[in-house]
């Protein structure tokens, strides 16, 4: 699909992997929605540009974990239902994004085998006392898999976390 950039030039639509930080804003989860207006505006722009969105399983799990830590049971239930309904729509093709595939046993074991080296090294120059989590590693692996499958498209992780947002084929990571 061909879209136009801010200068009117043609561009190919991008494949956008949604990170938890973005998905929490889309769902409007209290305490994690401080960037909601900006996220929804960019989301609308990206949809208008024809971008294709993927929702990784790690983002779904992490969102569920954040919802589980909301202070009131009624609020946890309400947002638990919201997550359930939204992911159900995504699985059924009724949302502007679709969940990523479920890795098979061998692929998951390969990811797991890579985990010790990722968690050992510093997550970034700014985060020298933190390694890459298994959830973030699974998003990185999904980015790697997607950029191979869509080698002619820009593939990026849309994240408010600078570590994950650096995964963008436009920046040659």
pLDDT band of residue 116 (cuts 50, 70, 90) is confident
Q: Indicate the range of 17-21, 28-32, 66-70, 113-117 predicted with least confidence.
A: 113-117
Average pLDDT over residues 60-86: 95
**Chain-wide mean pLDDT for the chain?**
89
Average pLDDT over residues 106-120: 85
Closest by CA to 91, choosing from 135, 37, 54, 39, is: 54
Rounded CA Rg of the chain: 17
pLDDT band of residue 129 (cuts 50, 70, 90) is low
Q: Is residue 171's pLDDT more than 90?
A: no
Tokens of 70: 């909301």
How high is the pLDDT of residue 123? 64
Average pLDDT over residues 137-144: 94
How high is the pLDDT of residue 121? 73
Task: Write down the pTM of the prediction.
Answer: 0.85
How high is the pLDDT of residue 2? 47
Instruction: Find the helix packing angle between 57-68 and 73-91, rounded to 10°.
Output: 170
CA 44 to CA 67: how far, in whole Å?
24
Q: Is residue 115's pLDDT more than 50?
A: yes
Average pLDDT over residues 108-116: 86
Q: Which stretches does DSSP call E strand in the chain?
A: 2-4, 10-12, 15-18, 52-55, 97-99, 155-158
């Amino acid at each position: 699909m061909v879209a136009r950039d801010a200068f009117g030039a043609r561009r190919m639509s991008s494949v956008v992997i949604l990170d938890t930080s973005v998905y929490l804003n889309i769902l409007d989860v209290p305490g994690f929605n401080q960037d909601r207006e900006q996220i929804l505006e960019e989301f609308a722009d990206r949809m208008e540009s024809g971008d294709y969105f993927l929702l990784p399983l790690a983002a779904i799990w992490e969102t569920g974990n954040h919802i589980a830590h909301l202070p009131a049971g009624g609020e946890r239930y309400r947002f638990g239902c919201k997550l359930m309904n939204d992911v159900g729509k995504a699985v059924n093709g009724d949302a502007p994004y679709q969940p990523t595939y479920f890795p098979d046993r061998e692929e998951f074991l390969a990811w797991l085998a890579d985990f010790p080296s990722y968690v050992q090294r510093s997550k970034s120059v700014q985060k020298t006392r933190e390694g890459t989590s298994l959830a973030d590693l699974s998003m990185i692996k999904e980015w790697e898999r997607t950029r191979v499958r869509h080698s002619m498209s820009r593939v990026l992780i849309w994240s408010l976390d600078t570590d994950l947002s650096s995964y963008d084929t436009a920046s040659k990571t």
